[in-house]
Amino acid sequence: MLIPMIDAWTTLCGGTSFSVNKPLRTPRDAHLKSREPKSAFVSARFVSPTGKLDYKLFIPASSAGRPAALLVMLHGCNQNATEFAASTGMNEIAERYQCMVAYPEQSLSANSGKCWNWFQDAHHHRGAGEPALIAGVVEQIMDQYLVDPAKVFVAGHSAGGAMAVVMARTYPELFAAIGCHSGLAYRCAADSAEALYAMRHGESTGAVNQGPRVPMIVFHGDQDSTVHPRNSDGLIDQSVQDDAVTRLQEVGRVNNREFTREIHRCEDDRVLAERWTVHGAGHAWSGGQEHFDCADVSGPDASDEMMRFFMETVSPPL
């Protein structure tokens, strides 16, 4: 039985194993075969013995006839797929990068605040709960469309950011990189009380997964009063662990909003993590669209920077 969510938690905005080394399939959708391909934003549903999950899928016109990248975007609490797509502006950026974007949508029956249940132990493991459903959405899309299995990513905001971290830890072979905005470390909480403590204090980094680690880009506002900025420390600690790293740091300004960017590399120069601390920002998607409560038009564009990071991860610049 799901633990009822308390009011403080709902303020957040925010199974089967399978091989990703499967042959690429021909897309079945008719619009991909048209002479003048157009982008589309379609509704779909994944159903399995584990449960069901509705989602929206953006299909860029630029991907017609070619293997596309795939990004899974996980919304925050009290959001839906359509609102999250609009507030982040991710579809417009994905068009430039020939990237499909899937937006799984949490149901009210699973959580009264439409939050992903990242804080419950039942949803911390491979092959069960919400991780299995989200992974199933990825598998279904890869079965139905022409997707490059080496270019599959996951990102999210707030509760969605925390669940994106869970996905990277439970299905590391599936995702090439992860983006977490205003989220929390893997297994920093196992129930709602621990979740509230981690959100308010950010002092627990959670259990460290000793398996493969997925490169991660982190965004967090240093004035976030919903998910404490110290939670980004936990995310970086889990990504870097004890590897010998070189940390590069730069300070910049966008639209009168300052930010600090850190890049963590290991000895062979691979990027383990990149962190953007947006100074003066609260609990909102940096560089998001106007008229959305969980988006901040000021500051660096998190959507654009995440997509840049993802593509550099799979195709490092010369």
pLDDT digits (tens, 9 = 90+) for 32-44: 444 567 899 999 9
Q: Give me 107's structure tokens.
A: 């149901």
Q: Which residue has the tokens 């990102």?
A: 155
Residue 155 pairs in a beta bridge with 73, 179
Tell me whether residue 63 is exposed, middle or buried, using C-beta atoms within 10 angstroms of its C-beta: 0 to 12, 13 to 18, 19 or more.
buried
Instruction: Name the band, by pLDDT with cuts 50, 70 and 90, for residue 208.
Output: low
Taking residues 46-73, what's their average pLDDT?
Answer: 93
Phi, psi of 218 (to 5 degrees): -120, 135
> Is residue 267 scored above 50 in pLDDT?
yes
Whole-model pTM? 0.88
pLDDT of amino acid 224: 97
Taking residues 129-146, what's their average pLDDT?
Answer: 97
At the second CATH level, the architecture of 30-314 is 3-Layer(aba) Sandwich (3.40)
Window from 61-70, 76-85, 208-217, 252-261 with minimum mean pLDDT: 208-217
pLDDT of amino acid 16: 36
Q: Tens digits of per-residue pLDDT, 68-127?
A: 999 999 999 999 999 999 999 999 999 999 999 999 999 999 999 999 999 999 999 999
- Please compute Rg for the chain using Cα positions: 18
Window from 42-56, 64-78, 215-229, 235-249 with minimum mean pLDDT: 235-249
> Is residue 133 scored above 70 in pLDDT?
yes
